[in-house]
Chains A and B, each alone.
Chain A
Amino acid sequence: KNEVEQSPQNLTAQEGEFITINCSYSVGISALHWLQQHPGGGIVSLFMLSSGKKKHGRLIATINIQEKHSSLHITASHPRDSAVYICAATISSGSARQLTFGSGTQLTVLP
């Protein structure tokens, strides 16, 4: 079983819809990261959070430490949001520099 699990694996939405991608983890972590991988392969770090909630534009990331769960929300989705979204964890007991990755969520937003 993966230490970091994401769902759904694939998600198709209509433009304007509110989108939620979920990430759960089974071990203690010091941080949870959300990354965005564009179709060309480039990866952008969206958020790193250890508690609570962070917001950047239409993107919101939340984490519940007790439930070992994080969500990435996209409000008013747009076709340019189409990408693979990856959650990754810095595991407390491991190397502080190593990220453990989820399998990614392929998001397609249709116009």
Chain B
Amino acid sequence: SQTIHQWPATLVQPVGSPLSLECTVEGTSNPNLYWYRQAAGRGLQLLFYSVGIGQISSEVPQNLSASRPQDRQFILSSKKLLLSDSGFYLCAWSGYRGPPYEQYFGPGTRLTVT
């Protein structure tokens, strides 16, 4: 069966510090991968998605970036965090057959920028 991992689970970082969040998927090949953010009291917002190694689509301009160095690894990064980057970050995967694509979410990382 497929499993999706995210780490860390919780992170507190000062403004201006770098960020690296990691997501890995097990039990599937060539998944579509997604990064979402949920700010406090708000809905889910798609940040990036990837259909393959090195292929990243950005949905919202911001100071975040994403990379996919391996088929089942998706990384969210920032060089300098802003207060507004605080939120709950979710990684998700879907199979490559579609549309439509049913998405499966990871446990999330709660990021607080102080």
A interface, CB within 8 angstroms of B: 30-31, 33, 35, 41-45, 48, 50, 86, 88, 90, 95-99, 101-104
Residues of B within 8 A of A90 (CB): 99-101
> Which of B14-22, B71-79, B104-112 has 4 or more CB atoms under 8 Å from chain A?
B104-112
Chain B: interface residue total (CB-CB under 8 A): 25
A97–B51 contact, CB under 8 A?
yes
Please tell me which one of the listed residues B44, B46, B49, B105 contacts residue A42 in the complex, with CB atoms under 8 A apart: B105
Residues of A within 8 A of B88 (CB): 41
Please tell me which one of the listed residues A41, A42, A96, A104 contacts residue B100 in the complex, with CB atoms under 8 A apart: A96
B42 (CB) vs chain A CBs: closest residue: A103
A48–B102 contact, CB under 8 A?
yes
Please tell me which one of the listed residues B94, B104, B110 contacts residue A97 in the complex, with CB atoms under 8 A apart: B94
B105–A97 contact, CB under 8 A?
no
B101 (CB) vs chain A CBs: closest residue: A97
8 additional contacts (CB under 8 A) given A41-B88, A44-B105, A48-B102: A31-B99, A33-B102, A42-B108, A45-B105, A95-B57, A96-B99, A96-B100, A99-B103
A103 to B43, CA, bound (A): 6
B46–A99 contact, CB under 8 A?
yes
B32–A97 contact, CB under 8 A?
yes
B interface, CB within 8 angstroms of A: 32, 34, 38, 43-44, 46, 49, 51, 57, 59, 88, 90, 92, 94, 98-105, 107-108, 110
Smallest CB separation, A16 vs chain B (Å): 29
B102–A45 contact, CB under 8 A?
yes
Residues of A within 8 A of B98 (CB): 96-97
Residues of B within 8 A of A96 (CB): 98-101
A45–B100 contact, CB under 8 A?
no
12 residue pairs of the A-B complex, CB under 8 angstroms, read A31-B100, A31-B102, A35-B105, A41-B110, A42-B105, A43-B90, A48-B102, A90-B99, A95-B57, A97-B51, A97-B94, A97-B101
A21 to B92, CA, bound (A): 24
Residues of A within 8 A of B51 (CB): 97
Q: A41-B110, A42-B108 are in contact. Are A101 and B44 (CB under 8 A)?
A: yes
